[in-house]
Amino acid sequence: MTIDNTAVDTAALRLDGVTMRFGSVIALSDVSIHVDPGTVTCVLGDNGAGKSTLIKILSGVYTPSDGNFLLEGKKANFSSPRDALDQGIATVFQDLATVPLMSVWRNFFLGNEPTKGFFPFRRLNTKYAKDACKAELMDMGIDIRDPDQAVGTLSGGERQAVAIARAVHFGAKVLILDEPTSALGVKQSGVVLKYVLQAKERGVAVVFITHNPHHAFLVGDRFFLLNRGKMIAQYERADVSREELVRAMAGGAELDALAHEIETLTTE
Amino acid sequence: MSTAIAAGDERLARSSTFVRVMRRPEIGALMGAIVVYVFFSAVDTTGTFVGLNGAARWTDVAATTGIVAVAVALLMIGGEFDLSAGVMVGTSGLFAGLLISEYNMPVWPAIALTFVFAACIGLLNGWLVVKTGLPSFIVTLAMFFSLRGVNLGVTKLLTDTVRVADIDEGEGFESARAVFAAELWQPYGFKVAVIWWVVLTVIATWVLTRTKFGNWIFAVGGDKLAARNTGVPVNRTKIVLFMYTSTSAALVGIISLMRLRSMQAGQGVGEEFVFIIAAVVGGCLLTGGYGSAIGASIGSAIIGMAFIGIAYAGWNTDWSWLFLGLILFVAVLTNSVIGKRFSGGRK
């Protein structure tokens, strides 16, 4: 199996033959992906495919055992998620992105608080933070009436949207979304997918990690399929239909066998 | 998107000034304080509770509770407990007292060394909590009992009694006493500890609500992983809070030592829960991520009024513990009802 990675190096992020071993367990084997600015790259995989390991490599939690991790053509050198963040890779983890009891503006600027004044009187610039938060969210099409309201009062989709808007605001070049729609209903998923496209339009390289080929097909420009730690297929948007994607994702023949099995069960 | 806007409108309609005030975490404590004040004014048999003489008495209790309760509140908002805060009052008083009486150290260096020592205990508490991942309830409970043993053991070893005395013979005692234990505004005799309490409450409130570090406190208590994912130094924030708690306990220890000119080895034991009660009455959630420093101070004022008010009513002071229990229960119930009613965001 060969994967075409011959594009000129305009990629925001590139993994080249990356392998990740934990003792004798090979979690990822010879995985190559590239992510261009202003595109949405979907990484699809079922449970245990290696999605979580991949996210952790991209977000700086793990350093790959083998292979190259290039950021804008240069070798990435992260020792922590904070390093990755500082170099423009923002990761929005499912359910672990915002603090529910804190207000929207406090969440928005968490870890990047704007301050004014001099030590020891350095303090939060609350007025700027509230206005900037409201304006930035409005720009993404999220209408938060009151930046003082607790994030816990927002819907699941809006919470993800706040996290995405935050990453974009702080100049993320690469935005990694970990299953952003998996816990949401149809409508809320639609809301989040819209913000994914908003981020893309602003030139961000979006990595959308999901097990839902329908959601991926709605927004993706390029699709990578992971299975059991290996890259099993790669498609460009123009070359693939939704049905093909769903089929490939489910493992083609395996799904036929499963359908047959269920059929026999229900007819018995 | 249309659903989001509709939801926004709904919420906006409910956000009147009244609701905004009722949303404050310390509102329950403030109403409670008014009720308690009126109650003890009514049952007062000495006629002094309402006046400045009475105020000088209850603010003293409130101050020595509140200085630590405010720190405990910040720590609880940061998602941790410190059960060793009570015994630390005794430990620091004894530490300073022994340096002065047994090792003839001048008073001011002894006090400075005590604050360093207390900060180290807080550092140890915090470091153990973040490194072992054990609940702080357990780690600081272990610290509580260890220090309780050390307090008695070391004091007996060095003095052959269970108290440290003769502090007033130390060099610089009078100036230290003026700073930590003076009485102001005669003839009422307000304690200088009240000024420490008010100043520390104002600073803690400012730090909590107006600074970057305050934002981190809410975040590490509200959702540790989300905080870490956005780049908040979670462990450092928690360790600093533990150090703040132990040094504020040391401040109260020094205040008692300077005031009484001696220290009992059992001093402070049992106070840890009074601090937690003050913080919880003041609106702190036991689960972290929510609360207020000024609330903890109002909670301490309620406790001060209760202790003094019960004595002024001519009742046996043993009843004050029952009163504390009732206050705690009613306050938490009120806070939770108000919270559900007005904030919506609280879980």
Q: Does B211 touch chain A (CB under 8 A)?
A: yes
H/E run at residue B325: helix B319-342
Q: Which residue of A101, A127, A194 to mutate against B (max B Cβ within 10 Å)?
A: A101
Q: What are phi and psi of A109, to 5 degrees?
A: -100, 10
Regions of chain A with pLDDT less than 70: 1-9, 251-255, 268
State the Cα–Cα distance between residues A153 and B23, nearest whole angstrom: 14
State the Cα–Cα distance between residues B100 and B118, nearest whole angstrom: 17
State the Cα–Cα distance between residues A53 and A57, nearest whole angstrom: 6
User: Which string of DSSP letters, residue by residue, matches B266-281?
Assistant: TTTTTHHHHHHHHHHH
pLDDT at A208: 93
The residues near B153 (Cβ < 8 Å, ≥ 6 apart) are: none
Is the previous residue joined to B135 through a cis bond, with omega within 30 degrees of 0?
A: no
Question: A212-224, pLDDT tens digit by residue?
Answer: 888 899 999 999 9
Topology of domain B29-37+54-338 in CATH is ABC transporter involved in vitamin B12 uptake, BtuC (1.10.3470)
Q: Does B15 touch chain A (CB under 8 A)?
A: yes
3-class DSSP assignment, residue B88? helix
Q: Are A124 and B231 in contact (CB < 8 Å)? A: no
Q: Which residue of A82, A102, A134, A153 to mutate against B (max B Cβ within 10 Å)?
A: A102
Q: Is the ipTM of this complex over 0.85?
A: no
Q: pTM, whole model, 2 decimals?
A: 0.87
Q: Where are the domains of chain B?
A: 29-37+54-338
Distance of CA B117 to the CA centre of its chain: 19
Residues of A in contact with B344 (CB under 8 A): 150, 152-153
Restricting to B residues 96-115, those with a Cβ less than 8 Å away from any Cβ of A are none
State the Cα–Cα distance between residues A190 and A156, nearest whole angstrom: 12
Q: Does B340 touch chain A (CB under 8 A)?
A: no
pLDDT at B346: 40
Q: List the one residue out of A43, A73, A74, A79 whose CA is nearest residue A60.
A: A79
Residues of B in contact with A149 (CB under 8 A): 11, 345
**A205-210 sheet: strands from edge to edge:** A89-92, A174-178, A205-210, A40-45, A222-227, A230-236
Q: Are A97 and B226 in contact (CB < 8 Å)? A: yes
State the Cα–Cα distance between residues B298 and A116, nearest whole angstrom: 30
Q: Are A149 and B346 in contact (CB < 8 Å)? A: no
Q: Are A149 and B231 in contact (CB < 8 Å)? A: no
State the Cα–Cα distance between residues A242 and A216, nearest whole angstrom: 9
The distance of B44 to chain A (nearest Cα, Å) reads: 42
Distance of CA A91 to the CA centre of its chain: 6
Residue A237 is classified by DSSP as: G
pLDDT mean values, one per 10 residues, chain B (347 residues)? 42 61 81 92 89 92 97 97 96 96 94 98 97 96 96 93 89 93 88 96 96 96 89 94 98 95 91 94 90 95 93 88 89 78 50
**B263 strand-pairing partners:** B164
Q: Are A109 and B231 in contact (CB < 8 Å)? A: no
Q: Are A124 and B212 in contact (CB < 8 Å)? A: yes
Q: Are B223 and A143 in contact (CB < 8 Å)? A: no
Question: B56-97, pLDDT tens digit by residue?
Answer: 999 999 999 999 999 999 999 999 999 999 999 999 999 999
H/E run at residue B3: helix B2-14
Q: List the one residue out of B69, B152, B172 whose CA is nearest residue B111.
A: B172
CB of A45 closer than 8 Å to CB of A211: yes
> Do β-strands A89-92 and A174-178 pair in parallel, antiparallel, or remain unpaired?
parallel
Q: Are A102 and B289 in contact (CB < 8 Å)? A: yes
The distance of A220 to chain B (nearest Cα, Å) reads: 21
State the Cα–Cα distance between residues B293 and B74, nearest whole angstrom: 7
